[in-house]
Amino acid sequence: MFFETKKMPVRFAALAMTCLSLFAALPVSSAKADLRVCNQTDNTVAIAIGFKAENGWQSEGWWIAEKESCALVFSGPLNEQPSQYFYLHAVDDVSGGIWGGRIFMCTRDKAFTIFGEKDCLARGYERTGFMEVDTENNTDWTVQLTETDLQPLETQ
């Protein structure tokens, strides 16, 4: 197999121009529709969320957010959910701290999707405190986790 070396750059340039024109024809939407959790600490954190779904309460986890990065924890327009509230629990295993609250939902150590928030222990799950996040009926929302809001583990 041999190539005509002088024509290769021309063919490549033509292909690149064709691809760029196809992308330019696509509609561009700047609207976001997601829930993101950004980790503004020096350690990696694990994140779980809870929310009211169409069929009742649901909790899911774990997303990992490296230091100074964000994790997409819910995809889609938040204002189309049954509630404007989401619930968040995050853990910094290095410092031993958490971001949580007094709204209890079910979790477990491995990746999970759990339906219902009652009788966690009886169903073989952990009962974990989540903090409330009011998205104010916006389509997207970003939560910033900072060391200032980090709670010692024993407060749960």
**For residue range 21-71, what is the model confidence (pLDDT) as tens digits?**
333 333 333 446 788 999 999 999 999 999 998 889 999 999 999 999 999
Joined together, the tokens standing for residue 29 give 């939407």
Residue 9 burial (CB count, 10 A) = 9
Q: CA distances (Å), 111 to each of 17, 49, 79, 89, in order? A: 44, 12, 26, 14
pLDDT at residue 117, as a whole number: 95
* Peptide bond just before 62 cis, omega within 30 deg: yes
pLDDT at residue 116, as a whole number: 95
pLDDT band at residue 149 using 50, 70 and 90 as cut-offs: confident
